[in-house]
Amino acid sequence: MSRTVCVRGGTVVDETGERRADVLVEDARIVEVAPAIEPPRGATVLDAGGCLVAPGLVDLHTHLREPGGEAAETVESGARAAALGGYTAVVAMPNTDPAIDNAAIVRDVLALGTGACADVALAGAITVGRAGERLAPFAEMAALGVRLFTDDGRGVQDARLMRRALEYAGSLGVVLAEHCEDEALASGGHMNEGAWSSRLGIPGQPALAEEAMLARDLGLVRLTGSPMHFLHLSTVGSVALLRAARSEGLAVTAEATPHHLSLTEESVASYDPVFKVNPPLRTAADVAAVRGALTDGVIDAIATDHAPHPVEAKEEPFESAPPGMLGLETALAVVYGALGRPGGDGGGGPRCTAIELFALMSWRPARIAALDVTGGHGGPVAPGARAHLCVFDPAARWVVDPAAGASRSRNSPYAGRELTGRVRHTLLAGEPVVLGGEAQR
Amino acid sequence: MTPSATTGAARGAVPVRPAPSAPPATAAPGEASPGSRPASPPRRHLLSVADLGRGGILEVLHLADSFAEVSERDIPKVPALRGRTVATLFFESSTRTRLSFEAAAKRLSADTMTFTASTSSLSKGESLRDTVETIDAMGVDAMVVRHASAGAPHRVAGWVGASVVNAGDGQHEHPTQALLDCYTIREALARRRGGDAPDDFAGLRVAIVGDVRHSRVARSNVLALSALGAEVTLVAPATLLPPSLEGWPAVVSGELDPVLAETDVVYLLRMQSERMQGSFVPSLREYAARFGLSRERAALLAEDTLVMHPGPMNRGVEIDAEVLARSGALVTRQVHNGVPVRMAVLFLLLGAAPGGDGAAEAPR
């Protein structure tokens, strides 16, 4: 029996533009996009009045914690959190236990994603066990569909090893993604180094720890000709380096997180490790630079770095708690407030149109991870396309309650905050996995 | 217990109030329950010198004057906190600070409990929150917390009903050390100038020398000394200064010698040998040569310059043993004054009458 869904009353937003239209979905595909569609008998009608109807969001940077960290998150719970946040695809990071560094583990984790509320793609590790010593078998993982490789959580410290990795990856058509952190410079630092770390007595890590590795890697891209993606860039200096690399024409892409464009290091004054993250929250000037780079296209995409930790892990002093924040369920509202909403919390800073906003969160990340080709993610919202849809109500106001979310963890830095804008419905290949803000399975 | 019984036992006119949850005279001491704790006294915790401000600092110092007098008695004890329990929670070991707090609590007739990391359940994997909530559940009125991580006492304060006193948190603050240092300076100035101890350090030049970067003592002292009006100079190589001094009420000197003749107080910080591993200085020898208060350097000091150190000292590194014999050397006095100052802090946090104005009557 076929399933028909009609999304009525919204404004469709995709790469081709923005227009008032209803969307008719049959089974997994969009069959019609038109101003006023009379739903066929038996169709499920979804109210999208006042909403933006966009291609489902794609997260390049999600920690699903499985295998090994099931107390914090599972593929199932993380994918449900993703769906609630309007995501239809996520790329799970390989810093699990054991690390995702060979074909057998790739197969296991992909199997866990079957039937999840969002499509789950995997990033593989660059080095065996993410130990930074020898190359992981890229080809056997690439054969199973792995497109991105990263030791995320750590940068590859050895420049020669990184050079070899780039050279070897080049012929496989895969992309290496770097967590830029020079460990010698960052060593022992738990927050951004500067006025706040000095005052709070928390050892800091300088912005240079990120920038030094980014500068090295840009040189390696120039040397090897292999493309690279840069994870969670967060500083004025990183933006300047990337801007120069772009004008030079280097084959690089980059992402920034919702928290690095909405929170500053001042939050750490509470000593609450819910504000501990890596790279650390930076200064207001860094936040402004990251926002600017997102609005002018120097940074391609927004990625959550959704990093669940069990409650007890954060019930420790700041310096002993692990870094990481939840992000999937709040990302769109936070980004919309920072960059999209007129009069949002961006102050007088640059603002995005709806098209630019969903570019950052849907079709550009989909292309970086090749999820446009492999899963039909990123749109367009047009007949024949796979029906991955995010229906976002930009006027809805809600108070973030991590306990009410789908994640198994609670470490949201936005807990208790009121956000404007909320995902109303999410369709994964035509199936309404979120209806009226509630997960359906 | 009645106010007259209080002062009677104290053999004099120490103007302290009965314990806040003091039971009727017929009841035995110790019947106070945590439930009778005042709902929201004006100052419940001491986490940072910044919590106190100038007024709060002076309140502690004035109260410490009367507790110092108590300490001179044959029986140096008042019943001000009888029936209350003070727990010292030392997640990082520090015998001298713990003993000083315990002496202060005992002289106020509080019961004391001790928790140290080596005897704790931390090795069994218990979280900080579980540990302190367990102790809180035993009915503790104050927790004196020392921890190797900055902000640990702030976290504890958010989890427990007890008052929390920061006894040193990582590289952040050590408020009672700064208070006892201000008390000691004030006492020395009074002795030198005659008359009452001054409440204003305007014009007083203080040089804090050494590893400011890693020092909780320095952070608290910069705040406390500047709040009282002193002019603070930090003397250290750039490696031992905080990465940013934005907003710090202090100036910086990279050399000690030019500062020495121009200062009223030299405050030497402890130089830890593990700093050599981080290449903060090439060697203790070179550090001592540039920043140690040697006999030769001490000769550059004015005769009445005060010399202080929070201890424990590395003799021959930060300070030469002979310099400690100078009339202006206050190191022993600092330790001595720690007890009445901590009595004042505990009393101000715990000695408030329920529903009352919270603050103890100032002795004068």
Q: Reduce the DSSP state of residue A274 to 3 states and report it.
A: helix
Question: How many CB atoms neighbour CB B274 within 10 A?
Answer: 8
Per-window interface: B 175-234 vs A, CB < 8 A: 216, 219
Take residue B104 and report the two structure tokens written for it.
Answer: 């202060």
Which domains, and CATH codes, for chain B? 3-173+337-350 (3.40.50.1370), 175-335 (3.40.50.1370)
Take residue A102 and report the two structure tokens written for it.
Answer: 């060979």
How confident is the model over B104-147, as pLDDT tens digits? 999 999 999 999 876 555 556 788 999 999 999 999 999 999 99
With CB atoms and an 8 Å threshold, state whether A197 touches B243: yes
Q: Reduce the DSSP state of residue B129 to 3 states and report it.
A: helix
Closest residue in A to B168 (Cα) is A201
pLDDT per residue, tens digit, chain A (441 aa), is 689 999 999 999 999 999 999 999 999 999 999 999 999 999 999 999 999 999 999 999 999 999 999 999 999 999 999 999 999 999 999 999 999 999 999 999 999 999 999 999 999 999 999 999 999 999 999 999 999 999 999 999 999 999 999 999 988 999 999 999 999 999 999 999 999 999 999 999 999 999 999 999 999 999 999 999 999 999 999 999 999 999 999 999 999 999 999 999 999 999 999 999 999 999 999 999 999 999 999 999 999 999 999 999 999 999 999 999 999 999 999 999 999 877 777 666 778 999 999 999 999 999 999 999 999 999 999 999 999 999 999 999 999 999 999 999 999 999 999 999 999 999 999 999 999 999 999
Distance CA B139, CA B121 (A): 19
Take residue A128 and report the two structure tokens written for it.
Answer: 């065996």
Distance CA B335, CA B292 (A): 21
Distance CA B266, CA B204 (A): 11
How confident is the model over A171-226, as pLDDT tens digits? 899 999 999 999 999 999 999 999 999 999 999 999 999 999 999 999 999 999 99
Q: Reduce the DSSP state of residue B200 to 3 states and report it.
A: coil
The C-alpha angle A268, A272, A275, rounded to 5 degrees, equals 55
Is A305 known to be catalytic?
Answer: yes
Mutate: best of A205, A266, A318, A410, partner B, most B CBs <10 A: A318
CATH class of the region A4-52+385-439: mainly beta
How confident is the model over B41-65, as pLDDT tens digits? 457 999 999 999 999 999 999 999 9
Instruction: Using an 8 Å CB-CB cutoff, list chain B residues near A195.
Output: 244, 246-247
Domains of chain A: which residue ranges? Answer: 4-52+385-439, 56-375
Q: Which one, of B53, B7, B17, lies nearest residue B347 by Cα?
A: B17
Minimum-distance CB partner of B170 among A199, A201, A312: A201
* Residue written as token pair 């040397």: A223
Rounded to 10 degrees, what is the CA torsion of A305, A306, A311, A316?
10
DSSP string covering A405-440, please? SSSS----TTTT-EEEEEEEEEEETTEEEEETTEE-
Which residue ranges in chain B fall short of pLDDT 50? 1-41, 353-364
Upper half-sphere CA count for residue B155 (Cβ side, 13 Å): 27
pTM of the model: 0.91
Give φ, ψ of A314 to 5 degrees.
-100, 0
Mutate: best of B131, B145, B171, partner A, most A CBs <10 A: B171
Give the closest-approach CA distance of B57 to chain A in angstroms.
Answer: 20
DSSP string covering B324-360, please? GGSTTB-HHHHHHHHHHHHHHHHHHHH-PPTTS-SSP
| pLDDT on residue B193 | 84
| pLDDT on residue A351 | 86
Minimum-distance CB partner of B151 among A193, A195, A200: A200
Tell me how far CA of residue A34 lies from CA of A20, A386, A390, B317, in angstroms.
8, 17, 17, 82
The dihedral region occupied by B109, where left means phi > 0, alpha psi between -120 and 50, and beta the remainder, is left
With CB atoms and an 8 Å threshold, state whether A270 touches B129: no
| pLDDT on residue B119 | 57
Whole-complex ipTM: 0.92
Q: Which one, of B361, B364, B353, B363, lies nearest residue B37 by Cα?
A: B353
Q: Which residues, at least 6 apart from B329, have a Cβ–Cβ distance to it below 8 Å?
A: B306, B307, B323
| pLDDT on residue A144 | 97
B127 CB within 8 Å of a chain A CB = yes
| pLDDT on residue B22 | 34
Instruction: Using an 8 Å CB-CB cutoff, list chain A residues near B152.
Output: 271, 317
Upper half-sphere CA count for residue B117 (Cβ side, 13 Å): 13
Distance CA A275, CA A197 (A): 13
The answer to whether B306 touches B188, Cβ cutoff 8 Å, is yes
- CB neighbour burial string for A63-80, b if at least 16 within 10 angstroms, e if fewer: bbbbbebbebbbbbbbbb
Pairing of strands A52-55, A389-399: antiparallel
| The CATH number fitting domain A56-375, selected from 3.30.365.10, 3.20.20.140, 3.90.1150.10, 1.10.4080.10 | 3.20.20.140
Instruction: Using an 8 Å CB-CB cutoff, list chain B residues near A271.
Output: 150-152, 154-155
E strand or H helix that includes residue B184: helix B175-193
Q: Which residues, at least 6 apart from A209, have a Cβ–Cβ distance to it below 8 Å?
A: A181, A182, A183, A185, A186, A189
| pLDDT on residue B206 | 98
Take residue A68 and report the two structure tokens written for it.
Answer: 């090994």
